[in-house]
Structure 1
Amino acid sequence: MNKHFLVGVITLGVILQGLTACSKSAAPNANQPQDTAASTATYPFRDASLSVDARVDDLVSRLTTTEKIAQMFNDTPAIERLGIPAYNWWNESLHGVARAGKATVYPQAIGLASTFDEDLMLRVATSISDEGRAKYHDFLSKDVRTIYGGLTFWSPNINIFRDPRWGRGQETYGEDPFLTGRMAINFVKGIQGENDNSDYLKAVATIKHYAVHSGPEKTRHSDDYHPTRKDLFETYLPAFRMAIAETNVQSLMCAYNRVDGAPACGNNELMQEILRGDMGFNGYVVSDCGAIADFYESRSHHVVDSPAEAAAWAVKSGTDLNCGDSHGNTYTNLHYALQQGLITEDYIDIAVKRLFKARIKLGMFDEQDRVPYSEIGMDVVGSPKHLALTQEAAEKSIVLLKNNGVLPLKAGVKVAVIGPNAVDEDVLVGNYHGVPVKPVLPLEGIVNRVGEANVFYAPGSAQIADIYSHYEPISAENFYHKDANGNLAAGLKAEYYADYYNAAEINDDTFSATPALNRIDADINFSWPVSPIDNSLDDEFSAVWTGILKPKKSGSYRFSGTVALAINGKPVNGAVNLKAGESYNIKAIFGVQKWWPVNAIHPYGKLTWLDESRDLEEEALAAARKADVIIFMGGIDAHLEGEEMPLELDGFTHGDRTHINLPKVQTNLLKQLKATGKPVVMVNFSGSAMALNWESEKLDAILQAFYPGEATGTALANILWGDVSPSGRLPVTFYKGVDDLPAFNDYHMENRTYKFYRGEPLYAFGHGLGYVDFAYNNLVVANTAEAGKALPIAVSVTNTGKMQAEDVAQVYISLLDAPANTPIRDLKAFKRTKLAAGESTELEFNLPARVLTYIDDNGKTQTYTGRVEVTVGSGQKGYVKENAIAVATINVQ
């Protein structure tokens, strides 16, 4: 099968059939300032001199019940009589502004976590909100109010990556609650502009998915999880608590699953007692998309029988905004819930006030000159500053797992770049991403670094089975059509339609729509920042290409891209044997509509192919024989691991993993490459831990790249040739396999993550090598500490190498006398340090009093007394060189 969603007879239309399209509510004139309508300028809710609460109260008091309920859906209609424009709350910014055309693409979240760099995270998030603001105002200037065009971002994902089989773990900051919390705090501050001294929010960040949520994907709509009280408060809630306590985070998304019987979006303990009460969260809550329908769906939780009951339950529990699904807006049933006495309008008022409070704080009802962020122009999108930042992030995110001395590579070395991910743009971006501005593929970065004459490339193999990564656009020399005289002419006949039609409609004999545009296209390789029909932004359209394909070479071809394809009248779904010079009638169909997963902002129409009859293995060995060093670009990508997908293959199911081994076809190829006697450096791309057991034993060096963003190629080349010393650290444990882990759907933390795992990991949490060593000594910490007091620590660190480099100092504590089953060790602080060759410095940490506490079996925080082991160094005790860590044991009284 093909790796891409939209191939063969699978089209955008087929995937999206049955989904309800976004409503097309009228909006005020785009020439009005910001979201202001002149006719309502005197209303108090328009008066920026009033308090936000006073403005919210005035606005909501003017709404009818019907208008209020309509505002509780992610795609809200305009209230024209009050000059309130339509707004779509759904936007994404996981590692860059997503799904809204071109934007700087940073390393995937798991890669950002591997930097262990709080300042970097703040700068990245600040740049993302810069680009988000610029796009928002640009859309408004064109009167476009679309999904993925707003200022309410549904990021970050701060779930705990407790099990390496979870396909969405790539979206998180790893397995440790403290690291996750610290990265989340900086991300939220950067998105919302909390360091800007502004009265306005720059954008809204949404911490998600609350709570106890980390797979499996296939059963997330029906699963009921039962964490222990200790695990709930020790592992699943701390990152949310930290983000709420240390930022003004405005939004939270509740999860699909149930927790102890109640859906997360209707769990009163989680939502009311803990979130609103204990944690003091005062923002709005949005449901995960379709989560409210799961309350009553027979194939999901089915804890109530009707949409009205589900809507009432969710709103009363504090879920203010419903992100819909194929059912549309479950909250429309609040009308019935009111009639049946299931809810009172007071609950609806509370929810709507929370929502309008966010919009007012974003400046959506004020003159633009009052909102400083409105001055951010589109020139920030993909600016040189942001592209430099994503390269810095990529370089800091890549983890050197093993090195026998082959790295860094020497000048003049000839390299064979082999592997399925060498030219795979998907490994740059992971999931939830925008369109890279200047993507640099791994192969491209190496060629740029050392020159084409020193690089021999071969894809070598599929990623797995028949999923390949080296598709190429079909060049124009292969396409023809018959002109009016019946003669062959270059190019394809193209018909463009002003509306969205799926492939089934266009292939129907009764289809009678008239094309809005007819022309000849040289090939099918389009990037449309605006509609090809009328140059409008965010507009639905369809295209049909017909003509003749004449391949230059015989072979067994596979096709990919974003179009549905038929050859000689038969839908293509698999390999097709084609002969050189023969003519094949083709029909390709493309459609784009204003809805997930492919919206109408900057769509791509592409048809690509590859010849699977090539002997990829022999090509790889031939390339290897010409080189001094083999660089293998392998692993997986986000078409194998990710969110709720239909894929079923060895090791993969519905976006999750069933085992974590490298696909066999890649390991087999690696064994043959190693047999050549040439040094082999592996670069592994994945958003999750990989059991690289044979690879770790036999290969000369291994780099874990995660999904490093659009500067991947440049960053990799800089590290491989030693311009930069690797400094990334693993935010997850790399296990040797999953056989000794608890069941994937078991949410108990026993024998999970570095904190509780009793086995021997392949590579430990926090592991990462560099081209220089850092020595830690002179650890200063009191022999006796007072319970309930902060714990100051100081330590000296020295770069013992011959080049400037960065290290991540990690502080762990172990409560040696704790009466409960406390973690083996627990990360409590970290700090990046850049030192010149031979340079030393002193690091200081002031661990807060809560560090010397533990969670008992009832989920209660208890003050600790007894012995505490404190370690400070380049990683965990037992997994780093002796001089790379300093250790002390103290007594807490």
Structure 2
Amino acid sequence: MKFNCCFSQLTILFLLLVGGGKQAMAQSKNYAFLDVKKSREERIQDLIARLTLSEKVQMMKHEFKGIPRLDIPAYDWWNEALHGVARTAEKVTVYPQAIGMAATFNTVAVRQMGDYTSTEGRALFNEDLKAGKTGKRYRGLTYWTPNINIFRDPRWGRGQETYGEDPYLTGQIGTAIVQGLEGDDPHYLKAVAAAKHYAVHSGPEHNRHSFNAEVTPYDLWDTYLPAFRQLVVKAKVHGIMCAYNRLDGMPCCGNNILLNNILRQQWGFKGYVTSDCGGINDFASGHNTHPDNTAAVSAAVLAGTDLECGNLYQLLEQGVKQGALSEKDIDVSLTRLLQIWFQLGMFDPQALVPYAKIGREVIESKSHKAHAYKMAQESIVLLKNEHSILPLDPNKIKRVALIGPNANNGHAQLANYFGTPSEIITPLSSLQKRYGKQIAIDYFAGTEIMKKIDGGPSFEEIVKKASAADVIVFVGGITADYEGEAGDAGAAGYGAFVNGDRSTMASPEVQTTLLKELRKAGKPLILVNMSGSVMSFDWESQHVDAILQAWYGGQAAGDAITDVLFGRYNPAGRMPLTTYKSDADLPDFEDYSMANRTYRYFKGEVRYPFGYGLSYTNFEYDQLNAPAMVETGTDIQVTVQVTNTGERDGDEVVQLYVVHPKEGNYKVPNSALKGFQRVFIKKGRSQKITFTLTAEDLALVNEKGELIQQTGSVKIYIGGGQPGKSVGGKREITMQGTAYRPY
């Protein structure tokens, strides 16, 4: 059986008669678990008491077939919502890929996207419920998102699903997604998010079912766990998906330290844990840590994996009979799963559930499509703008040569784990719609992603045609066919891609070759790159006039790109990843040490830093204020004034970094992002920005994985990017008092 990693959705235990809004037959039987006057705990225990061991075990599998004797219908936990409702046959709104959302540095917009996504998901679920057609995959309310693994290596194909390389940015964007998806009702959940893949999971893809990740306690607590802790402790996420790999020799879905000690005891997690799909099969056959599948499923449940996405948990009955675990152990996991169903309102009268009224009219609504467009705009990062070639003036441009394999490739814009919208706006369709009546547009795909087009025009013919244009716009990059999850990506026949991972950061050679030929035309040459990770841009950064990093921008990517090219939108996206200069800068892919990885620990020079992005206007920073002396264990406020000194209105992404001195016995990052705000400032205007730095923000992790605060000086930097790499200001504060240890 083939499994694809990720989400799950809950399938209908709301139990209403079709169309009428009346209570279902089960409620007419006066079961206590349907009595809303009783506490949820009482109702859950009543339901569990009515179940046989076999029925309990079946309810712990993602594809639950229902229990007819109790009139409990089927439910499939597996659903996806990475950047909009995914994998449904319905037309839905599709937002930029997750890495593009991270590039917005806009938690408000991301939370709104999560809210709109669960609104559309609820509409589909409510429709199925009323029709009595529950149990279909990709139609439930349990989403296996967000992916908050750290994008530690740009070669990882699934990194596009994450929010980049930084633990703080990942935690903040992940929090926004969770809050948007799950809603703010005090009694009911709108949907259920699940943070994945827990833990220390960042490739490679080809051996993920047998790979053993080895990390130091320092790297575990400083890099790999903070985002998970943020989502569990602060965002109160209700689901966790455990990873395929082993951590220090034990499969993550059977790892007692990860699931029981850290997740439930230290962090107080009360939700449910699901395996990644087919992950329990790996215990005996991939990791070889368990003698057989019965031992594997028993160990998984005892460690805290409540739900299996897969085909083995029926063996739990045998495990109980053999004494490997008890029926009470089964009840513990089942209680967690039922708690989720009850919080979704699946056993309550529809009139009590505020989200039950959401109807089909919300799907692809005007506001949802407008938000997809807004987020596509905000995700675009202007990496280079030689001689301010951008924005283009449509009144001075008579002819544009639009070239490249992604110039009219709507499929590329949808990335992976995607839904399908009614309309995909490509750069070509947008340019024709916006400027087709006043600007001549010569379009050539030019190449496929990795090779020349069979029977297509030669490069010489393309260059000859492009020479007549006023400007050449090349829209290239790759697609999720070449980077992504093992089994879903990794186009065969090209050495640059291995089971979805990349072996090089270089742009596809055939595209660079065509760009070199186009450069000979002597016309302004602009590169728009679509990808889920960074390209090294070795030749491109030196020879093209402007570079836009457009990611996989979703359904409205074409309009967003056109807006930036012609100045209808002032770009302010920021890089959530470091762009290294060369593949030689990267450590071995399977080395999980953070030494010389990401902006926090890399020692060399980079092409484009984390947090970097240009604008069509300029900003200045002054009046940075912070207390000179701070007691350890306390929070502080930091303020700065930002002024738009340029000629255009625009957004600025204000970033706060903490820099600890490299002294004593503690490891310290080069710098660490601890705050950011995306703000709109009109030209000539100023805005005061306030950050609250918590004691945790000012702390360090020691070699034992403990969070501490040491006395001494700490530098705080606020600017448009990293310290020393952008306009900004810094302030030094002194920490005094007793060391702070919250872990």
- TM-score w.r.t. the length of structure 2 is 0.94
Mapping 1:301-380, distance limit 5 Å: 301-324=287-310, 329-380=311-362
Change (3 A) 1:35 1:459: farther
1:754 and 2:599 aligned: yes
In 1, Cα distance between equivalents of 2:87 and 2:326: 37
SS at match of 1:110: helix
Q: Tell me: CA distance 1:361–1:672, structure 2 relative to 1, closer, same or farther (3 Å).
A: same
1:180 aligns with 170
Distance 2:464 2:77 in 1: 53
Partner of 2:638: 793
Looking at structure 1, the residues matched to 344 and 50 of structure 2 have their Cα atoms a distance apart, in angstroms, of: 20
Higher mean alpha-carbon deviation, 169-178 vs 643-652, is at 643-652
Query: Amino acid of the residue matched to residue 140 of structure 2?
Result: G
Pair 1:103 & 2:92 matched: yes
> CA 1:61 to 1:459, structure 2 compared with 1: closer, same or farther past 3 Å?
same
CA distance in 1 between partners of 2:45 and 2:548 (Å) = 55
Please state if 1:273 is matched with 2:261.
yes
Aligned mate of 1:259, from 247, 269, 273: 247
Q: How does 1:493-512 map to 2 (within 5 A)?
A: none
Secondary structure (helix, strand or coil) at the match of 2:125 reads helix
> Secondary structure of the residue that 2:337 maps to in structure 1?
helix
Q: Name the CA distance, whole Å, in 2 between partners of 1:662 and 1:850.
A: 40
How much has 1:888 moved relative to structure 2? 1.8
Match of 1:853 in 2: 699
- 1:157 partnered with 2:143: no
CA shift for structure 1 position 36: 3.6
3-state SS of 1:849 partner: coil
Classify the secondary structure of the residue corresponding to 2:279: coil
Instruction: Compare the two structures and name the one with the higher strand fraction.
Output: 1
Contact kept? 2:464, 2:521, Cα under 8 Å? no
Q: Distance in 1 between matches of 2:491 and 2:554?
A: 24
Q: Does 1:134 align with 2:120?
A: no
CA contact (8 A) 1:134 1:378 kept: yes
2:207 to 211, 215, 219: 219
Matched, 1:201 2:186: no
Give the letter aligned to residue 86 of structure 2.
Answer: A
Residue of structure 2 in register with 1:892 after alignment? 735
Which residue number corresponds to residue 412 of structure 2? 427
The offset of 1:102, in angstroms, is: 1.2
Q: SS of the counterpart of 2:475?
A: strand
1:737 matched to 2:582? The reply is yes
- One-letter identity of the residue aligned with 1:288: D
After TM superposition, give the deviation of residue 752 of structure 1 in Å. Answer: 0.4
Partner of 1:124: 113
- The answer (yes or no) to whether the contact 1:457–1:623 under 8 Å persists in 2 is no
Correspondence list, 1:709-724, <5 A? 709-724=554-569
Q: Which amino acid aligns with 1:839?
A: R
- Give the conservation status (yes or no) of the 8 Å contact 1:818–1:866: no
Which letter maps to 1:662? S
Instruction: Give the number of the structure whose alpha-carbon radius of gyration is greater.
Output: 1
Picking from 817, 821, 841, the partner of 2:667 is: 821
Query: 2:741 maps to what in 1?
Result: none
Cα distance between partner residues in 2 of 1:114 and 1:818: 33
Give the secondary-structure state (helix, strand or coil) at the position aligned to 1:870: strand
Paired residues of 1:33 and 1:366 also in contact (CA < 8 A): no
State how far apart, in whole Å, the 2-side matches of 1:34 and 1:302 are.
52
Kept in 2, the 8 Å contact 1:35–1:84? The answer is no
- Equivalent position amino acid for 1:170 in 2: Q
Q: Structure 1 residues 653-662 or 140-149, which shifts more? A: 140-149
**Partner of 1:850: helix, strand, or coil?**
coil
1:778 maps to which of 623, 628, 634: 623
Residues 34 and 121 (structure 1), Cα distance of their counterparts in 2 relative to 1, 3 Å cut: farther
Are the equivalent residues in 1 in contact too, given 2:3–2:277 (CA < 8 A)? no
Kindly report which structure 2 residues correspond to 1:541-556, keeping only aligned pairs within 5 A, or say none: none
- In structure 1, stretches of 5+ residues that fail to align are 1-13, 469-611
CA distance in 1, matches of 2:28, 2:64: 19
Tell me the SS of whatever aligns to 2:37: coil
Q: CA RMSD in A?
A: 1.9
Cα deviation, 1:568-620, whole Å, max 9, x if unaligned, reads: xxxxxxxxxxxxxxxxxxxxxxxxxxxxxxxxxxxxxxxxxxxx212242442
Q: 2:230 aligns with which of 237, 242, 252?
A: 242
| Equivalences for residues 606-685 of structure 1 within 5 A | 612-645=454-487, 647-648=491-492, 649-685=494-530
Partner-residue secondary structure (3-state), 1:689:
coil
Q: CA deviation at 1:850?
A: 1.2
2:288 aligns to what SS in structure 1?
coil
Aligned to 2:739: none
Q: Are 1:802 and 2:647 counterparts?
A: yes
> Counterpart of 1:719 in 2: which secondary structure?
helix
Of the candidates 341, 346, 367, which is equivalent to residue 385 of structure 1? 367
Q: Aligned letter for 2:391?
A: P
> Please, which of 677, 683, 688 is the counterpart of residue 837 of structure 1?
683
Structure 2 counterpart of 1:551: none
Counterpart of 1:827, as a letter, is L
AA matched with 1:437: S
2:337 and 2:300 mapped to 1: Cα distance?
15
Opposite residue 481 of structure 2, the aligned amino acid is H
CA contact 2:12–2:346 (8 Å) conserved in 1 = no
How far apart are residue 870 of structure 1 and its match? 1.2
Q: Secondary structure at the match of 2:580?
A: coil
Find out whether 1:397 has 2:239 as its counterpart: no
Q: Partners in 2 of 1:34 and 1:154 — Cα distance?
A: 31
Deviation string 1:822-880 (CA, Å, 9 cap, x unpaired) is 10000000001101111101111110011221111111111122221211010012222
Could you give the per-residue CA deviations for residues 526-575 of structure 1, whole angstroms, max 9, x where no partner exists? xxxxxxxxxxxxxxxxxxxxxxxxxxxxxxxxxxxxxxxxxxxxxxxxxx
The Cα shift of 1:365 comes to: 1.2
Once residues 34 and 184 of structure 1 are traced to their aligned partners in structure 2, the CA distance between those partners, rounded to angstroms, is 38
Supply the distance in 2 between the matched residues of 1:411 and 1:442 (Cα, whole angstroms).
15
Q: CA deviation at 1:717?
A: 0.8
Deviation of 1:40 after TM superposition, in Å, equals 4.6
Q: CA deviation at 1:787?
A: 1.9
2:630/2:733 contact within 8 Å kept: yes
SS for the counterpart of 1:84 is: coil
Separation in 2, partners of 1:151, 1:177: 27
Question: Match of 1:695, as an amino acid?
Answer: E
2:393 touches 2:566 (CA, 8 Å); kept in 1?
A: yes
What's the CA shift for 1:256?
A: 0.1
**SS across alignment from 1:742:** coil
Q: 2:254, 2:300 within 8 Å by CA — same for their partners in 1? A: yes
> What count of residue pairs does the alignment treat as equivalent?
720
